[in-house]
Structure 1
Amino acid sequence: MKFSVSSSALLSLLATTGKVISNKNTLPILDYFLLELTGNELKVTTSDLETTLTGTLHVDNVESEGTIAAPAKLMLDSLKEFAEMPLTIEVNDQNWEIRLSWKSGSLSIPGASAVSYPVIQTLSPDCKELSLDVDTLVNGINKTIFATADDELRPVMNGVFFNLEPGKLTFVGTDAHKLVRYEMLLDNEITASFILPKKPANLLKTVLLKEEEAIQVSFDSKNAVFRLKSHTLVCRLIEGVYPNYNAVIPANNPNKVLVDRIELLNGIKRVAVCSNPTTNLIRMDIGGNQINLTAQDIDFSVSANETISCSYEGQPITIGFKSTFLVEILSNMETPTVMIELADSTRAGVFNPVYDDKRPSTTLMLLMPMMINA
């Protein structure tokens, strides 16, 4: 294998695909990049057995094709030291030595045979396919991934739930304390669902930033494939039945609060400093177009309160929330104003961003309350 390539283009590709590589790989070969040169196309593959990311790059001056496993850390550490310049990469097929040459020098890195590199999972013939707009996929993941859990006992909650219905796509993330449901109108006739694990979801967020064209998504009961312009992500899905999220969303919420999101967020952050570090409880007394935020830690005799003006419809209500969850929910909205809908102090609060215009998507965030000690 011998070819020429731009140092920055190669580094960019390796840095992106390298995000798949785990710190604790079960197989030594998974600490390597799989480089495959066919014609003028260099294909780079990384895998952790659950997730596989493949990227392609156009290279020049190809003298011979081939396949090699290159050590990821050494390759990245070496390429980071180069300014933008052409590199010639040559592989010795006898001892798997990788030689990088440039105008004023060269370096050699020990490679390995690619024979033992794991084979990429394939989908079943009856897999389902759809095309998704980049913005739809990015927004769906961004708005829900923060609400997913890290729960070994309930793995279905550790990913983003994709629910396809005719004319609609719903993204859901929940950890049983908070829940986010993002619904998007979609020209779709499929009825299906799958749970995308957190790691490939985060990888997609990174890779999609450079995409403009529609993403082709294929999936069966065990795996999903996301085909982008120059990358392909294959991942194992989380198997299991996702909880009935619609059942926990309160339907009748007579108490409605309209409040400035940033003002409320900053007020919570200030008051939360004095909350109990174990519970992070913040008490909200709402009534008379005011929200009174209170937090205290009896053990250290500290307390704080702040009053924020709002527009309120309903009976006076007192409810407690975990401040860290409140901050997460309010931080993951982009509108200046938020609508909080409440039923009573024991039922979940529903947070809706308030948009000035009509949109093809709706975002609903839900937070379970905490008991307030009398």
Structure 2
Amino acid sequence: MRLTLSSAVLSNRLLTLSKVLNSKNSLQILECILFEVNNGVLTLTASDKENEMKTQIQLDESDADGKFAISSRTIIDAVKELPEQPITLEIDMATYNVKVIYQNGDYNFTAQNADEFPQVQAIEENAATIKIGSAVLTDNITRTLFATANEEIRPVMNGIYFDLTPEALSIVASDGHKLVRNKVFSIKDENAKSFILPKKPATILKNVLAKDDSEVEIVFDNKNAKIKADFGTLTCRLIEGRYPNYSSVIPTNNPCQLTIDRRTLLGTLRRVLPFASESSQLVRLRLSMGQLEVSSEDIDFYTSAKESIVCDYASNAMSIGFKGTSLLDILNNLTSDEVILELADPSRPCIITPVEQPEGQDILMLIMPMLLND
């Protein structure tokens, strides 16, 4: 078998596929990229048994159909340093000897029989479908991923929850201490549907999806999802189980509102947090008319820090404690110039929202307070 294609295109696609691969595998064949040639089109596949990514390349030339598997490390190292040029792969399908011919030289190595390459479970015929803009999906995954948990007892908390309702598509993550809920109002369905996307495929999508207006199609059943986009397709096993009722923990009446410059509050937290207790990471927010005081202390090492910020606050004076690292994560994953903190009392959750919401969306983040020893 002989096939010719662009070295740069092959290298770029291989690097994208490599994001699926694990450093350690139960099957040796999973260290390989599957090459399938059919009617002048090369399909490349990478898998870790639970996630499978496919991408296609139109070949410049090919003289036969067939399939074989090449070590990902071997083929990626072979082409990544080549300048853009046509390269030819010659494969002896009897011995699986591969020769890669380029402008000033060639590589020789051995491929493997592709029959052992695992196939992912097919999506059921009655699967549901969601269509969403690539940039919208990328932004929502990026904004939500940090709030996922790492739990063994409740694995459903370890992924991103896609909740499609007649009102909107909600994209949710929570670790029990912080919560993110994004609503996309342009996507809705009279028949409620949902799935939980694991962290690994979510991270892959964050890194490979284009930030443009192209459309992403998500087809899912009870066990698997297939995501089709410009990069190709990503098929993944979903987290099975019932996601907790996230709406029940979101307060509907937090009367005290604080509006503040997001970057100013971020800078203050970064300066104050190093002086907090290493075990608790507790920071205290003292709210008074037009002013916010952020402070921390570590009584074991006799360290403390305090800083005041001008803000828009006209409610009752209040002191409330938060885990500083969680508050930093929330503010880092918002992009608006100003944010609103909605509070009720020092024992109830605080809602944080951007002053300017993206068009057609609603972003809400929640953080649980920590007990203050006054």
TM-score by length of 2: 0.97
Which residue identity does 1:103 align to in structure 2? Q
Task: Check whether the contact 1:211–1:229 (CA below 8 A) recurs between aligned residues.
Answer: no
Letter of the 1:315 partner, please give it. Answer: N
Match of 1:103?
103
Aligned AA (1:67): K
Which of 227-236 and 23-32 deviates more?
Answer: 227-236
Give 2:147's aligned residue: 147
Other-structure match for 2:163: 163
- 1:338, 1:167 → 2: CA distance? 25
Note if contact 2:209-2:230 (Cα within 8 Å) is conserved in structure 1: no
Structure 1 residues 281-360: aligned runs within 5 Å: 281-355=282-356, 359-360=359-360
**Alignment partners' CA distance in 1, 2:8 and 2:222:** 38
Matched, 1:220 2:230: no
1:172-210: CA deviation from partner (whole Å, max 9, x where unpaired):
011001000000112532410000111111111222127
Q: Does 1:239 align with 2:240?
A: yes
**Contact kept in structure 2, 1:167 and 1:188, CA below 8 Å:** yes
Letter in 2 for 1:4: T
Contact 2:35 2:45 (C-alpha < 8 Å) held by counterparts: yes
CA shift at 1:230, angstroms? 4.6
Q: 1:125 to 1:358 in 2, by over 3 A?
A: closer
- Answer with 280-289 or 186-195: which moved more: 186-195
Moved more, 315-324 or 126-135: 126-135
Residue equivalent to 2:118: 118
Contact kept? 2:135, 2:210, Cα under 8 Å: no
Matches within 5 A, 1:11-160: 11-160=11-160
Distance 1:129 1:39, change over 3 A: same
Q: Is the partner of 1:115 in helix, strand or coil?
A: helix
Task: State the Cα RMSD in Å.
Answer: 1.4
Q: Determine the C-alpha separation between the residues in 1 that align with 2:82 and 2:230.
A: 27
Cα distance change, pair 297–210 in 1 and its aligned pair in 2 (3 A): closer
Aligned residue identity for 1:318 = S
What residue is the counterpart of 2:279 in the other structure?
A: 278
Alignment deviations for residues 224-251 of structure 1 (CA, whole Å, 9 cap, x no partner): 1111235011111100010111111111
Contact (CA 8 Å) 2:289, 2:315: kept in 1 or not? no
SS at match of 2:63: strand
Q: Which runs of 5+ in 1 are unaligned?
A: none
CA distance in 2, matches of 1:203, 1:341: 33
Task: Tell me, in whole angstroms, the C-alpha distance in 2 between the residues paired with 1:179 and 1:365.
Answer: 6
How many residue pairs are counted as aligned between the two chains?
373
| More displaced 10-residue stretch of structure 1: 48-57 or 181-190 | 181-190
What whole-Å deviation, never above 9, does each CA across 1:247-297 have from its counterpart, x for those lacking one?
111111111101010000100000011111111110111112111111111
Relative to structure 2, which stretch is displaced further, 23-32 or 226-235?
226-235
Q: Give, in whole Å, the separation in 2 of the partners of 1:51 and 1:76.
A: 20
Distance in structure 2 (CA, Å) of the matches to 1:182 and 1:117: 38
**Structure 1 residues 141 and 331 mapped into 2: Cα distance closer, same or farther (>3 Å)?**
same
CA distance in 1, matches of 2:79, 2:111: 15
Q: CA deviation at 1:98?
A: 1.6
Question: 1:3 maps to what in 2?
Answer: 3
Is the Cα contact below 8 Å between 1:57 and 1:230 reproduced in 2? no
Q: Which amino acid aligns with 1:186?
A: S
Displacement after TM superposition at 1:108 (Å): 1.1
Unaligned 5+ runs, structure 2 = none
2:115 counterpart SS class: coil
Mapped to 2, the partners of 1:197 and 1:240 lie a distance apart of 12
